[in-house]
Every structure is written in structure tokens, then in C-alpha cells.
Structure 1
Amino acid sequence: MKKIMILTCFAVLLSANEHNFIGSVSTAWKLLGKNDRIEVISVKDPKVDGVTCYVSYAKKGGTSELVGLEEDTSDASVSCVQTDSKIVVFGDVKKEEDIFKKRSSILFKKTHVVRMFDEKAQTFIYLVYSDKLVDGSPNNSVSAVPCKQAVGNVCEFKDEK
């Protein structure tokens, strides 16, 4: 029973950070280990089908990455787009909710993608930022996906998936 609980918790943690690696470009050459680079991933919103966010972030390479001690910079960008003919929203959408987070250093630093919903404008806003326990960063990027578009209202709200 204990093993099943541990496996279930692990599976939930993995699914919460589900993303697809798109590619990367080198920004600085390193003799040992991978080069410093910018990586691009796609992230699906678990409660909003039909929206995909593309996140780019700086990644430190070299020997520190080889041993897992790198600290990535807080530079990140997000662009979210409608990727289906209809945006289907499942469940209650909170005012703001993490849809993705990744470790950016060995301790106390994470990069987050947060979904917000502007009810008045019927628009989903996605924010990427980095936090740190002691000294966080104001670096951020924002993207918006409106429900009301030239073709009409593209969002459909449902109770459950």
C-alpha cells in the first residue's frame, strides 16, 4: 500500500510538469558539459484544452550542470496561442493558478508559468517568472489568449473533464 501511495504521488508530480521539449540554441561554449543555451518547450494547460504555451528560458551548462549544481538565470519568455478550433475549459478556473514549474537551481529557485483569468475581458493571461527564497527576480513575460475573437466566442466552459 505504501509503495502504491508513493508511486501515485510521483505520477501526480510528473503530470503537473508535463511539457514537450522543442529545441535549444547555444549561447556560450563550454569545454566540459553542455553549452549555455536557451531552451524552448511547449506546455499544455491542464484545465484549458486548445491553448498551448511556448516557454523559452536560459539554461546554464558546463561542469556545474554535470553535477546538478547549476543556477539558471531568471530570464524566461512565454507566448500562448489557441491551437484548436475551440478552447474548452474544464472545472472552476481560479483567479491565478500554476500550470507549470521547473527547478532552476539545486535549492529554492523555480520558474513558474501561471494562468490568470480576466473575467471582465474573458481573456486567459499566462505569466512566466522565476522565484527564489531570498532574492527573487522581477524578470517576467506575459501572453494573453482572448475568448472573444473575430470569429466569435471560442471558449466553452464545462464542469469536469
Structure 2
Amino acid sequence: MMRARTIAAISSAVLALSAVAGPGLAQEKIGEVSTTFRLMSPNDKVVIERYDDPKVENVSCYLSRAETGGWSGAVGLAEDPSRFSIACRAVGPTRIVGKIPADKKGEVVFSEDTSIMFKELRISRFHDTQKNVLVYLVWSTKLIDGSPYNSISVVPLD
């Protein structure tokens, strides 16, 4: 019983730290569904989170991503799969409140560790000035071999 409480406390601390890590978007967990039942440890899940862009008023990105369960997932030692989807929307009148680069490299607006060893989930923002839209890209990094999995969403500016 004591071990389960310790693991739960460590897991909560890891999640709290990962929520504030990296630049940018304010994050809020919207919900989750279990995808794999595990009798004695936490289930694998698909998690839905909302990220509000701090430089663009009324733009929110909704991200679904896989989260590994089991004991290794509970203590932050598991590597989450690089599978995700993103949908960004204007939830009111948009207004840019910071400088947004218009170069081809974009700007990383959110970054979160998805494993203990050098893997991150990132959301980058690109400004297509010709069409006056923002393009949000969710992607994954890994020290040796990055992931080709990615997803984009486009938000028109007023």
C-alpha cells in the first residue's frame, strides 16, 4: 500500500513538472480514454489537452496523444508513442499580442518531455503571411532517430 502511494506521488510530481516545462502555451487536460486494460497498474490512454497560444488571443489547440501506462508509465520511465492529432481553432476574435516570426523555421510554442531519455513532443507555429493564416504543427523529437509522425492545423487570422 505504501509503495502504491509513493508511486502515485512520484507520478503526480512528474506530471506537474511536465505541464510547466518548456515554452509557451497554457495547457489544460480536457479528458482521457483508456485503450489497454492493466489489472495491477495504470492503463494506456489517449489524452486530450487544450493549449492556448499566448501570442494570439482566442486561438486554442486541442491535442490528442497516446500515453503509456503500466508501472513504468506511472513513474515517468516509459516512452510515450509518437502518435498524436491536433486541431486548432479561433474561439473568438483573434489578435496577435506578440511578435510572430514569419521565417520558414517557425517558432516552438510548446515542448513536453515524452520519455526520460531525450524525447519531446513539440508544437510549432508558422505564419503564412501570403494567406494570412497560422499553421500549427505537432511533432516529436528523439536524440538518435526522430519520428516522422506529425499533424497540422490551420487557423485563419481576422
**Interval of TM-score (by shorter of Structure 1 and Structure 2):** 0.7 to 0.9
Q: Following the alignment from structure 1 to structure 2, what is the Cα–Cα distance between the partners of residues 13 and 62?
A: 23
Structure 2 residue matching 1:31: 3-state secondary structure: coil
Q: Which structure 1 segments of 5+ residues have no match?
A: 1-11, 148-153, 155-161
For the pair 1:67 / 2:75, whether they are aligned, the reply is: yes
1:118 CA drift (Å):
0.2
Please give the root-mean-square deviation of Cα atoms over the aligned residues, in Å.
1.6
Runs of 4+ with deviation above 6 angstroms: none
1:13 CA drift (Å):
4.7
Alignment of 1:20-31 (within 5 A): 20-31=28-39
1:52 CA drift (Å):
0.4
Q: Following the alignment from structure 1 to structure 2, what is the Cα–Cα distance between the partners of residues 69 and 13?
A: 17
1:18 CA drift (Å):
2.6
Q: Following the alignment from structure 2 to structure 1, what is the Cα–Cα distance between the partners of residues 21 and 148?
A: 27
For the pair 1:92 / 2:102, whether they are aligned, the reply is: no
Q: Contact 1:17–1:102 at 8 Å: present in 2 too? A: no
1:31 CA drift (Å):
2.3
Q: Contact 2:109–2:125 at 8 Å: present in 1 too? A: yes
Moved more, 52-61 or 98-107: 98-107
Alignment of 1:1-150 (within 5 A): 13=21, 16=24, 18-84=26-92, 86-95=93-102, 96-147=106-157
Deviations 1:94-120 (A, max 9, x none): 131111111110010000111110001
Letter in 2 for 1:39: V
* Count of aligned positions: 136
TM-score by length of 2: 0.81
Q: Which structure 2 segments of 5+ residues have no match?
A: 1-19
Structure index of larger Rg = 1
Q: Following the alignment from structure 1 to structure 2, what is the Cα–Cα distance between the partners of residues 87 and 18?
A: 16
